[in-house]
Amino acid sequence: TQLLEQSPQFLSIQEGENLTVYCNSSSVFSSLQWYRQEPGEGPVLLVTVVTGGEVKKLKRLTFQFGDARKDSSLHITAAQPGDTGLYLCAGAQTGANNLFFGTGTRLTVIP
């Protein structure tokens, strides 16, 4: 069962533009991670959010966890070609020894 839906599925933008990726669910999560994956490599953990309403910033990336801990967003300011990749959200539930991965957003930033 796919618990986390990401939108958009694909996104192609010009360098310097801003974008937002959404991760939505009807389930509550104890924490939510965002990963970025480049072709042929494993996903790399970007951030973990754990508190409803929490906002975390990582340089040009801003992550927000929804108040009800059911959804999250990733905002990138002034996108760079190096931001290109597959962005995955993943939710953890208390006591569960696995992550529920989102459907993924493939971002291409054109120089």
Q: List contacts with another protein (CB under 8 A).
A: 30-31, 33, 35, 40-45, 48, 50, 86, 88, 90, 92, 94-99, 101-104, 106
Q: How far is the CB of 99 from another protein (least distance, A)?
A: 6
Radius of gyration of the chain measured on its C-alpha atoms: 13
Give the three-class secondary structure for 103: coil
Residue 81 to residue 67: CA distance in whole angstroms: 32
Q: How remote is the C-alpha of 59 from its chain's centroid?
A: 15
Q: Is 78 or 96 the residue whose CB approaches another protein more closely?
A: 96
Q: How far is the CB of 38 from another protein (least distance, A)?
A: 10
